[in-house]
Amino acid sequence: MSGTDQSRPWLTYPAPAIVLVEPQMGENIGTTARAMANFGLSDLRLVAPRDGWPNPRAKAAASGADSVLESAQVFPDLRAAIADLGFVVAATARSHTQAKPVLGPEAAAKAITAKIAGGAKAGVVFGRERNGLESDEVGLADAIVTYPVNPAFASLNLAQAVLLMAYEVSKLAPAGALPHEPLHPPEPAPREQLHAFFDRLEFELERVEFFRPPEKRPVMSVNLRNIILRMAPTRQDVQTLSGVIDALVSGRKGPAAGGVLNADEAVSLRSLVAAEATVGVTAPVRGLARLVRRNPTEAERAVWTNLVNDRRLAGRGYKRRVPIGPHIVDFVSFPEKTVLELDDGTEEPAVAARRRAWLVERGYRVVLLPEAGLTAEALADRLVAMLAPVPSDAG
């Protein structure tokens, strides 16, 4: 059954007996045993079960809680069933004129736990499915437990009633921790770490003029700090948030991760950089290369994906949008001295010719890939064929 792990130890703690008076159906006994097993209760006592005992229907309904059924005791009457108990609670939804404490399930669980802690045995008595406990049976108990259910529909299934009581008792058990509760709770962020984080956050927000108008900065700063502090962040939380700030400040990374321009703007930037190269602007070439690399065109992105992901190309050392002298090439493999250029037909032919001649003079092989008709389906095979290494002369 889902959630059942026979390799783990059974939860054991001093717990009350569950007494069922004249249960009418084996299925209800089985589901009661299952409810008991869920919360580590094992002492099941049956008073004159209607269909006798053992009952195969009970075993089927228990869904694996066989140990509870196998250890169940059968008694001829309620007096015999509770003879060894020092504290008894009767579960009933009926009003009674008997002068007994009437408790909710939480208060009843506390009373039971206190009695057991004092050395007494305790039990909870449940009545028949059809009409519950008789007055004289309630009279044998020390207290009454009743549930705060809808008064217009107060009848509970027998196993449901047992489950609620077993749950309240288990909450007070010494071993009552949640099964997946971490053994070592995360460490709260120390104030020193928080102060450093706030200082960094405010510094970066100041750089992008977040605090506007300036006179509102003190209030905005306090609000930001309160937002974070309400989260009660752990040390790991603050480390993660600091990483988020680093990523936002540094911008997108990676050869083709993308930047801040859309596809059309990226194409325009590419043309602008090529035009700048015609007038001999060489000083900012590395900065321009980074800017272009962060803003690939769709065609560049498609080619780069194949260059880094296709096994036939991935080990060939290709880089994207890096400077070679005064020129920023589309793709280059320095180990193979091969430059791959995308040709969209918009570049000035004389400019392209000068760049390619400059590269060839320095030993680079220049391969042109027309963007017209470029499709993703055949791109990988096309690149493999175009970029095949040129064999060296045998002589």
Strand order in the sheet with 318-320: 318-320, 331-333, 338-343, 365-370
Q: At what angle do helices 191-207 and 217-230 cross, to 10 degrees?
A: 140
The CATH superfamily holding the domain 263-386 is VSR Endonuclease (3.40.960.10)
- Residues 395, 392: Cα–Cα separation, whole Å: 9
pLDDT for the residue 276: 54
- CA dist list (Å): 337 to 108, 332, 333, 360, 370: 83, 7, 6, 10, 20
pLDDT score, position 287: 67
CATH of domain 17-171: 3.40.1280.10
pLDDT at 352: 84
Contact 148, 104 (CB under 8 A): yes
Q: In which residue ranges of the chain is pLDDT below 50? A: 1-2, 176, 178, 254-258, 278-283, 394-395
Pair 78, 16: CB distance under 8 Å: no
Q: What is the pLDDT of residue 273?
A: 63
DSSP codes of every residue in 106-122: HHHHHHHHHHHHTT--E
Q: What is the pTM of this model?
A: 0.49
Residue 123 and residue 82 in contact, taking contact as beta carbons nearer than 8 Å? yes
